[in-house]
Every structure is written in C-alpha cells, then in structure tokens.
C-alpha cells in the first residue's frame, strides 16, 4: 500500500493508556466526564473513547449526530455554543440530550420556542461567565467578562426570573468553561470558589440544581511530550473534589478534549527542499498550516523530530516551514540533525486541534489518518518511501 505524506498518525495504545489513567483518577461516582468532540472527531478516536464510558461535549448539531453514530448515549451528550442555530437546537431537543448549555438570556427565548415546537421540555444549564482569568493564551481564554461566552455572573438572578416564565425549559444545572491549555491548578480553585458562592445564591432562589458542569481546560506538556505523555488527571480531579461544595445527589460534569487526545496524534511530513537562506536554513516540508494551524493561529510550539536523519552527520539550525502561500506557515525554529530532501519529520502533540481544524486552502488534498494498531510508524514511513519510488 502506497502512503502519501503528509498524514496523521494516531497511537491507539497511548490513547487507551490515557483513557485508563483518566477513568482511574475519577475520585467519585458522581463525577461524569464528557469528551469535547471539537478536539478530534475521527470515528476511530470517538469509538475508542466511548469504550471507556465517557459522554460527549458537542458544540454543533453535526457533532451531536456524530456522537450518536459513534455510540454515545443521548442522555450523556451536552451541547454548548454561543451561536446555536435553530436547526442545531432542534437536533438537540428532538434527541433528548442531557442538557443545553445556554449562553444568554436572549437564547432562552429561542430554546423555549423550539422546545414547544418539539412538544418537549428541554433541560437547560446556564453557562456562566465567572470572570476568572485562566492564565493561558488570550485567544483560548473564555471566562473573562470581555469574552463573548456565557451569561455574566451578575445576570444570573435575572436569567432565573426569565426561565420561570418559560414552560418548556427546565433549569437542571450551571456550566462554566474558563479556557484551554491551563497548566496551573490555581484558576480551577478560583473557579470552585465562584461556583460555591453562586450555588448558595441559586439555592436562596429556591432552586436545587441536578448538576454542575465545570467545563474542561486541562493542558498538556507540548515542550516535552515524550516525557509527559499523560496529564496528571488525579491532581486535576482532586482540585474539584476538595474545593467544590457538591450537594447530596448532585453530579459534577467535566468536558475534557485536548488532555485526552493531543499526545496520541502526530503529523508526519516529508522534507521537500532544504533551502539556504540569507540568514537561516529552511526545511520546507509537504505539511502546512492546512494540516496543523495551531502554530500559525496561536504561535504555539510543537516538538519536531527528524526521525529518518543520520545523527552521525551532525546538527544544524532550521526554520521548518510549509508550502502554503502565507508567511505565517511556519512550524518552528529548531536545531535538528543535518536534514536533507526526503527526510521524514514527526510533528508531535497534534492529536487535538490538528486534523479537525484542517482545510483545503490552496486546493490541497486532505491528509489521511493511520493508526498504530494497524501498523507501526516505522512501517508507514517505509511505505511512503516505496510510494516515492513508484
């Protein structure tokens, strides 16, 4: 079988080890984890995750449909999103999903109308903007008052007053998500304190909530992925177990994406040219921002390894760049073994927000995905070399 680069390679064994670590770390039966499908929506990935009993966190109607087709139960699916369309709300309500995370008082009116059209009572969670700084990249911070997400915490009483007028809505929970790639536990502790205060205020209104959804955001080690392939889930869950004042019979829900799938995926690419520039060497590869947009979008770091180089040849400095007609199509500046045309590079930690954010810009072909339980990476690379010779 001839294999073309670039392609995505998924280490299924690492994914399963990560999922086992996650499930082992859950400290209480009332903690429920939903996988954030936006991180990676490949069927093989979703079906593997489902085997470990996770629910699904969706941000579109199509993600709900995909989750159902991959075996997730409707009552374990939650829907979020600041701009849900009428069609997406119909999908959520008609399938009877666990809850819709409502992001504004204005949205409540629309959900109530669509629930009435479906002759169903929709379970609603208020997504609250707690104004907690996640101490992460500003483009993936979601819990500050300046962000577009959620009902301001000061508006919760008004939202409760409004939902009481809506017979086709049932307030079952509150939802938070303060950002992504959070490496310090401090923002999560601050979030717990905000949640505790808000729970007291809501109970004073005579409402007992069925669940609290604290979102996700747990980060991974992009700098040394081989040394830390699995996040410290035990430490993460312990924060909420210790600091959240959970009521009797109340469940706590989590929405983890990146921390589940990021490290199991790599982007594999071939060096097309090594160009000597005026100030640097360029290793021009056949993968670009169309296959992994995070470096161009967030200036993010991904470890890059030349996995076919002859280390005995020595080292040199390179700017690893893609073929796309954009100056931002750069993966990183690094020292590598002497690199030549035809060498294979592995760009690591690409399992989250890699393939799912890919595009056909410049009318490029879509990169395929391959899996470790079908062949090891060395075998796939051998097949790319055969393809080049064919």
Same domain for 284 and 153, yes or no, is: no
Contacts 24+ apart (CB under 8 A), 2-5: 2/383, 2/386, 2/387, 2/390, 3/368, 3/370, 3/380, 3/383, 3/384, 3/387, 4/365, 4/368, 4/384, 4/387, 5/268, 5/269, 5/270, 5/286, 5/287, 5/344, 5/384
pLDDT of 145 strictly over 70 = no
Same domain for 268 and 247, yes or no, is: no
> Would 302 be classed as within a structural domain?
yes
pLDDT of 150 strictly over 80 = no
Where residue 321 sits, what CATH number does that domain have? 2.40.37.10
Reported as a single tens digit per residue, the pLDDT across 223-280 is 999 999 999 999 999 999 999 999 999 999 999 999 999 999 999 999 999 999 888 8
Same domain for 306 and 247, yes or no, is: no
Which has the closest alpha carbon to 176: 250, 33, 89, 80?
80
| Range of lowest pLDDT (122-131, 255-264, 322-331) | 122-131
**How confident is the model at residue 152, as a pLDDT?**
85
Where residue 127 sits, what CATH number does that domain have? 3.20.20.10
Q: What is the mean pLDDT of residues 153-170?
A: 92
**How confident is the model at residue 86, as a pLDDT?**
98
How many C-beta atoms lie closer than 10 Å to residue 117's C-beta?
14
Residue 366 DSSP symbol: P
How far is 253 from 32, CA to CA, in rounded Å?
5
Same domain for 311 and 251, yes or no, is: no
Beta bridge partners of 220: none
Same domain for 250 and 289, yes or no, is: no
Q: What is the mean pLDDT of residues 159-184?
A: 94
Q: What are phi and psi of 35, to 5 degrees?
A: -85, 130
* E strand or H helix at 194: helix 186-204
Same domain for 348 and 229, yes or no, is: no
**How confident is the model at residue 296, as a pLDDT?**
95
Q: What are phi and psi of 152, to 5 degrees?
A: -55, 140
Domain of residue 374 covers: 263-389
**How confident is the model at residue 312, as a pLDDT?**
86
**Which of 231, 256, 281 corresponds to the end of one domain?**
256
> Would 65 be classed as within a structural domain?
no
How far is 57 from 120, CA to CA, in rounded Å?
21
Q: How many contiguous H segments (helices) and E segments (strands) does the chain have?
A: 11, 17
How far is 149 from 1, CA to CA, in rounded Å?
47
**Which of 240, 256, 272 corresponds to the end of one domain?**
256
Same domain for 199 and 97, yes or no, is: yes
Which has the closest alpha carbon to 295: 256, 370, 347, 338?
347
Same domain for 245 and 213, yes or no, is: yes
> Would 120 be classed as within a structural domain?
yes
Reported as a single tens digit per residue, the pLDDT across 295-320 is 999 999 999 999 999 888 899 999 99
> Would 58 be classed as within a structural domain?
no
- Contact partners, residue 77, CB within 8 Å, separation at least 6: 34, 55, 56, 57, 58, 64, 67, 68, 95, 97, 98
> Would 49 be classed as within a structural domain?
no
**How confident is the model at residue 153, as a pLDDT?**
84
In total, the chain counts a number of residues equal to: 390
Which has the closest alpha carbon to 130: 155, 111, 108?
155
Same domain for 316 and 200, yes or no, is: no
Helix, strand, coil abundance in the chain, percent, nearest 5: 35, 25, 40
pLDDT of 213 strictly over 50 = yes
> Would 247 be classed as within a structural domain?
yes
Q: What is the mean pLDDT of the chain?
A: 92
Number of domain units in the chain: 2
Q: What is the mean pLDDT of residues 61-89?
A: 97
| pLDDT tier for residue 132 given thresholds of 50, 70 and 90 | low
Token pair, residue 367, equals 């990169």
Same domain for 238 and 279, yes or no, is: no
pLDDT of 138 strictly over 50 = no
How many C-beta atoms lie closer than 10 Å to residue 292's C-beta?
29
pLDDT of 133 strictly over 60 = no
> Would 213 be classed as within a structural domain?
yes
> Would 357 be classed as within a structural domain?
yes
Reported as a single tens digit per residue, the pLDDT across 80-120 is 998 999 999 999 999 999 999 999 989 999 999 999 999 99
**Which of 256, 282, 300 corresponds to the end of one domain?**
256
Same domain for 95 and 138, yes or no, is: yes
Q: Is 252 helix (H, G, I), strand (E, B) or coil?
A: strand
Place of tokens 């629309």: 110
How many C-beta atoms lie closer than 10 Å to residue 66's C-beta?
18
| Range of lowest pLDDT (136-140, 255-259, 334-338, 368-372) | 136-140
- Contact partners, residue 294, CB within 8 Å, separation at least 6: 300, 302, 353, 354, 357
Q: What is the mean pLDDT of residues 22-38?
A: 97
Residue 93, burial from CB neighbour count under 10 angstroms (0-12, 13-18, 19+): buried
**How confident is the model at residue 149, as a pLDDT?**
58
**How confident is the model at residue 24, as a pLDDT?**
98
Same domain for 240 and 282, yes or no, is: no
How far is 80 from 254, CA to CA, in rounded Å?
13
């Amino acid at each position: 079988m001839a294999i073309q680069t670039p392609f995505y390679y998924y280490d299924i064994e690492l994914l399963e080890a990560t999922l086992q670590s996650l499930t082992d770390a859950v400290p209480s039966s009332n903690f429920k984890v939903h996988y954030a499908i936006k991180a990676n929506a490949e069927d093989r990935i979703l079906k593997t995750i489902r085997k470990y009993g996770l629910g699904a966190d969706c941000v579109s109607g199509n993600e709900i449909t995909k989750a159902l087709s991959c075996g997730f139960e409707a009552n374990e699916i939650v829907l979020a999103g600041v701009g849900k369309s009428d069609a997406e709300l119909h999908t959520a309500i008609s399938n009877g999903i666990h809850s819709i995370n409502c992001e504004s008082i204005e949205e409540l009116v629309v959900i109530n109308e669509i629930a009435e059209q479906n002759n169903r009572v929709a379970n609603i969670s208020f997504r609250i903007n707690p104004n907690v700084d996640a101490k992460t990249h500003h483009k993936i911070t979601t819990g500050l008052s300046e962000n577009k997400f959620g009902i301001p915490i000061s508006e919760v009483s008004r939202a409760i007053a409004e939902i009481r007028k809506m017979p086709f809505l049932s307030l079952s929970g509150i939802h938070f998500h303060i950002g992504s790639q959070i490496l310090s536990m401090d923002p999560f502790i601050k979030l717990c304190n905000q949640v505790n205060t808000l729970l007291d205020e809501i109970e004073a209104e005579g409402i007992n909530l069925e669940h609290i959804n604290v979102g996700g955001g747990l980060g991974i080690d992009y700098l040394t992925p081989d040394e830390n392939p699995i996040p410290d889930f035990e430490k993460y869950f312990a924060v909420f177990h210790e600091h959240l004042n959970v009521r009797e019979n109340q469940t706590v829900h989590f929405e983890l994406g990146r921390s589940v799938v990021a490290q199991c995926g790599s982007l594999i690419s071939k060096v097309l040219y090594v160009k000597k520039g005026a100030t640097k060497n360029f290793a021009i590869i056949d993968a670009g921002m169309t296959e992994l947009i995070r470096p161009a979008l967030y200036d993010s770091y991904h470890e890059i390894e030349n996995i076919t180089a002859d280390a005995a040849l020595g080292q040199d400095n390179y700017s690893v760049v893609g073929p796309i007609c954009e100056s931002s199509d750069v993966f990183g500046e690094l020292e590598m073994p002497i690199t030549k045309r035809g060498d294979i590079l592995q760009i690591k930690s690409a399992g989250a927000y890699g393939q799912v954010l890919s595009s056909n810009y410049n009318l490029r072909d879509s990169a395929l995905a391959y899996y470790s339980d079908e062949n090891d990476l060395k075998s796939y690379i051998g097949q790319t070399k055969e393809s080049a010779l064919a």
